[in-house]
Amino acid sequence: MSMPMYPQLPNVIWSESTDRNRSHGSSTSDKEKSEVIMSGHVNLQRLEQKKLMEYLEQSFLTLKWLKRVASVRADGAVQFEIPDEIKSQTLDLGTTVAISGATEDEDFDTTNIPDFPPLQIVMLIVGTRGDVQPFVAIGKRLQEYGHRVRLATHSNFKEFVKASGLEFYPLGDMVKNKGFLPSEPSEIHMQRSQIKEIVFSLYPACKYPDPDTNVPFEVDAIIANPPAYGHTHVAEALKVPIHIFFTMPWTPTSEFPHPLSRVRQPVANRLSYQIVDSLIWMGMRDIINEFRKKKLALRPVTYLSGSHSSPHDLPYGYIWSPHLVPKPKDWGPHIDVVGFCYLDLASNYVPPDSLVEWLENGKKPIYIGFGSLPVQDPDGMTEIIVKALEITEQRGIINKGWGGLGNLAKSKDFVYLLDNCPHDWLFLQCAAVVHHGGAGTTAAGLKAACPTTVVPFFGDQPFWGSQVHARGVGPPPIPVDEFSLKKLVSAIHFMLKPTVKVCASELAKAMADEDGLKVQWMPFISISLAGKPCLSLLNHPPPPTSLSDVVSAVPENDDDPC
């Protein structure tokens, strides 16, 4: 099976050696690699030689196995199937926890934690507006507690961050591919360049003065999301605590697959996290190790060392409602589902008079919009939306967004075309919502008790569409490539069922008592500084269940050379 995103994966393992050889116009054979190692040219002792050879053997075996079971789809998701010849018990990891081995929550006793002075906290956040917005809310709350907060993210969010009262520091440009993994060979160079720029900007974000005021900054603690990639390595170098927060699952569980994977066999749910993790690591190993050596003065790391991305007891907080997706039973006590973190934008919003008048002159409308996502045929999609509203006798608000929706040949009195508007205000005016399924938009719709149809484009959006349907508050998701008049009409009828509205109202009521910004998780900094699971030290053993456990069960296939 081909792997279009990294066509020469074996060379990734040998990036350091091949880089040196390429500079002299030569290549390195497997035999030459072995001779170089065993002859001592890399100054290794016998024990280290043995370990390195074992690592190389396992690495190439892993690559061969991945080529058999995994491929990257056009939407950037990983599609994989486990061969039939592998017995299911090989993959049935049960409730084993690769993170800590614990399956029950335990309460941290914070009564004896000493008071700490105000801290300088940096948040290293990579992603879209929907990824950044929850961290603006978190940063504002931390400021209320007296801490100094710097939000380091992409330059196009500078005004948004500063308008919220937080300090801003620029990271590299936002990765513009359709998912976390490049799906076309042509995307590889561009995405690697963008990732390298982001990774190498993380250290300055933690140490350099404010670029506008020149006020010095010396980080005391780090908050980050996983796509920052180099966050734990910076924490290791600076010896500061770090806490990860994210809007989608990133910790292995047997209850559902990795949101960036498409898995048909539930028994492979947990393994999907390691598949995605290994593919990402193979594509950026050289970038991370260059960053560690040149910028941080740290030794290189390997995938099999178990420390390439984050320590196995690193504290995580997941930003979604436990009433929508409960915390999996196989997640340890240092992993929390904290609830959605809402940023209040409605309080200061003044809607245009034309919108207020239109809303007052009829029944609650259905919202349809896909934010900043590109639409292949905006005119065709607009035609489908308008026709579906007409067939179902509903009024609709079409968010024009960046996709170019809403080009009507003739205006319709049952359609209102809208530019940007805060979802926390708008969705309260709507009977139901149709959107792309970003975590933030999904949260806003459910909080407003709106039945929801998700039209996923890529990434974690199919995951949220599936969760919405499983909770009974929306129809099955409609992938954007399958968007049609028939399916949209069916989805609207589904959302308008009284039973679905009851489910949406009950979920909204349960979520109303949640506060992802509550004080409960705020002691993470004090806990970390007081010696709880530590954050900057990467000397941890590899997880109990590794890819090698499964790779060893894959029969050899001599017709598919690595």
Helix (H, G, I), strand (E, B) or coil at 95: coil
Structure tokens at 89: 């018990």
SS3 75: coil
pLDDT value of position 172: 80
- Confidence band, pLDDT 50/70/90 cuts, at residue 448: very high
- The answer to whether 452 and 433 have CB atoms below 8 angstroms apart is yes
The span from the CA of 113 to the CA of 115, in Å, is 7
pTM for the full predicted model: 0.76
- How many angstroms separate the CA atoms of 169 and 393, rounded? 49
At 260-304, the pLDDT tens digits run 888 877 888 998 898 888 888 888 889 999 999 999 999 998 765
pLDDT at 374: 78
Can you give the three-state secondary structure of 195-240, one letter per residue? HHHHHHCHHHHHHCCCCCCCCCCCCCEEEECHHHCCHHHHHHHHCC
The answer to whether residues 230 and 258 touch, using CB atoms and an 8 Å cutoff, is: no
β-bridge pairing 120-124 and 221-224? parallel
Q: Where do we find the tokens 């979604």?
A: 320
Instruction: Identify the weakest region by mean pLDDT among 102-111, 367-376, 449-458, 551-560.
Output: 551-560
Q: Give the angle subtended at the CA of 435 by the CAs of 383 and 173, to the nearest 5°.
A: 110
Half-sphere exposure of 104 (CA within 13 A, CB side): 2
| In the predicted structure, residue 409 carries a pLDDT above the cut 60 | yes
Dist. CA 317–CA 19, nearest whole Å:
39
183, HSE (Cβ side, Cα atoms, 13 Å): 17
- pLDDT at residue 477 above 90? yes
Q: Regarding beta strands 366-369 and 396-399, do their DSSP bridges make them parallel or antiparallel, or are they unpaired?
A: parallel
Q: Check whether 233 has a pLDDT greater than 60.
A: yes
Region 24-44: mean pLDDT is 41
Buried b (16+ CB within 10 A) or exposed e, 520-529: ebbebbbbbb
Q: Is pLDDT at 18 greater than 60 in this prediction?
A: no
Does residue 322 contact residue 249 with C-beta atoms inside 8 Å?
no
pLDDT tens digits, 44-95: 444 444 554 454 445 555 555 555 666 666 665 666 666 555 544 444 333 3
- Ordered by where they begin, the domains of the chain are 120-252+302-343+516-529 (3.40.50.2000), 353-512 (3.40.50.2000)
pLDDT of residue 427: 98
Q: What are phi and psi of 452, to 5 degrees?
A: -130, 135
Share of the chain above pLDDT 90, in %: 51
Rounded-to-integer distance, Cα 291 and Cα 234, Å = 9
Q: Provide the pairing of β-strand 70-72 with 78-80.
A: antiparallel
- 373 confidence band (pLDDT: 50, 70, 90): confident
pLDDT tens digit sequence for 321-356? 999 999 999 999 889 898 999 999 999 999 999 999
Choice between 78 and 235, residue whose per-residue pLDDT is larger: 235
**Residue 102 has what pLDDT?**
40
Q: What is the mean pLDDT of residues 471-487?
A: 97
Residue 192 Rama label (left phi>0; alpha psi -120 to 50; beta): alpha
**Is 544 a residue whose pLDDT tops 90?**
no
As a residue count, the chain comes to 562
Average pLDDT, the chain: 77
Whether 436 contacts 478, CB under 8 Å: no
Higher pLDDT, 548 or 332: 332
pLDDT band at 225 (very low <50, low <70, confident <90, very high): very high
Q: What is the 3-state secondary structure (H, E, C) of 260-297?
A: CEEECCHHHHHHHHHHHHHHHHHHHHHHHHHHHHHHCC
pLDDT at 20: 38
Q: Which has the higher per-residue pLDDT, 38 or 213?
A: 213
Pairing of strands 366-369, 78-80: unpaired
